[in-house]
Amino acid sequence: MSLGLGSGDFLTGKESLGEIEKIASSCERCGLCEERQNVVFGTGNPSADLMFVGEGPGENEDRQGLPFVGRSGKLLDDLIAQELGLGRDEVYITNVVKCRPPRNRDPRPEEVSSCRPYLRRQMELVAPKVVVSLGNPAAQSLLATRTGISRLRGQRYKLGDAVLVPTYHPAALLRGGGGEMTAQTRADLVLAKLSLEE
Ligand code: URA
């Protein structure tokens, strides 16, 4: 899987989810720690079959310490309920970087690398069957590619023992991606559902 080992892994591989969350809560591995209010580690069912991975916390998430709690989060909750018949507590939701990038810019490659061991361990411990990545930075970092989301979506990829289904970020739908983008996102979630049932 592309999340691969990489050097500089500071985790032993033996920590529990709670232990890595505690380590992350005082993390200073990259500059994103300087302006954060809270580390946003992840939420939901720790043994979920379905995991969502966004790019990084926004303003509301930084304030509350929880992923996808703003307008994008409300839309994500609605899409998960409508297309998968699941509640937020039944899935696991996290981000590629756990601290808010200033002014909501995309996370930088070095920030993604610094944070990667946390995401890798979350994936090992939650062990989802299906991972849905939301938006460009998440898909590109999980697949180690520079190909854009509009070309990546609509297909399934192998990600370790899981299946990765990349789709658009709910914020892109809210920015007026249009009905077409929303329809494609719904189709991607149906693909995720089929993958869960296989
Ligand atoms: N956007 C993200 O990518 N993640 C969040 O948690 C919130 C908004």
Q: Which letter does DSSP use for residue 13 in this model? A: S
Q: Whose CA is closest to 49, among 128, 120, 124, 127?
A: 128
pTM recorded for the entire structure: 0.95
- Predicted pLDDT of residue 7: 42
Residue 170 Cβ < 6 Å to ligand 1: no
Report yes or no on 10 lying in a domain.
Answer: no
Report yes or no on 123 lying in a domain.
Answer: yes
**Per-residue model confidence as pLDDT tens digits over 58-114:** 999 999 999 999 999 999 999 999 999 999 999 999 999 999 999 989 999 999 999
- Predicted pLDDT of residue 9: 77
Q: Whose CA is closest to 88, among 118, 102, 67?
A: 67
**Per-residue model confidence as pLDDT tens digits over 35-60:** 999 999 999 999 999 999 999 999 99
Alpha carbon distance 47, 146 (integer Å): 30
Which residue segment(s) compose the domain that 40 sits in?
17-197
- SS3 of 113-178: the string is HHHHHHHHHHHHHHCCCEEEEECHHHHHHHHCCCCCHHHHCCCCEEECCEEEEEECCHHHHHCCCH
Number of domain units in the chain: 1
Residue 96: alpha-carbon gap to chain centroid: 5
Report yes or no on 9 lying in a domain.
Answer: no
Alpha carbon distance 188, 43 (integer Å): 22
Report yes or no on 172 lying in a domain.
Answer: yes
Q: Is the pLDDT of residue 187 over 80?
A: yes
CATH number of the domain enclosing 39: 3.40.470.10
Copy the structure tokens of residue 46: 């720790």
Q: Which letter does DSSP use for residue 47 in this model? A: T
Residue 68 Cβ < 6 Å to ligand 1: yes
Report yes or no on 161 lying in a domain.
Answer: yes
Of 59, 71, 95, 105, which is best to mutate to test ligand 1, by the most ligand atoms within 8 angstroms of its C-beta? 95
Report yes or no on 120 lying in a domain.
Answer: yes
Provide Rg for the chain, Cα atoms.
Answer: 15
Q: Is 191 exposed, middle or buried (0-12, 13-18, 19+ CB in 10 A)?
A: buried
Residue 101 Cβ < 6 Å to ligand 1: no
Alpha carbon distance 42, 53 (integer Å): 9
- Predicted pLDDT of residue 8: 54
Reported as type and span, the H/E element at residue 58 is: none
What's the mean per-residue pLDDT of the chain? 94
**Per-residue model confidence as pLDDT tens digits over 108-153:** 999 999 999 999 999 999 999 999 999 999 999 999 999 999 999 9
Crossing angle of helices 109-126/17-25, nearest 10°?
A: 160
Q: If you measure from the C-alpha of residue 95 to the centroid of ligand 1, how many angstroms do you get, rounded to a whole number?
A: 7
Report yes or no on 23 lying in a domain.
Answer: yes
Report yes or no on 168 lying in a domain.
Answer: yes
Residue 62 Cβ < 6 Å to ligand 1: no
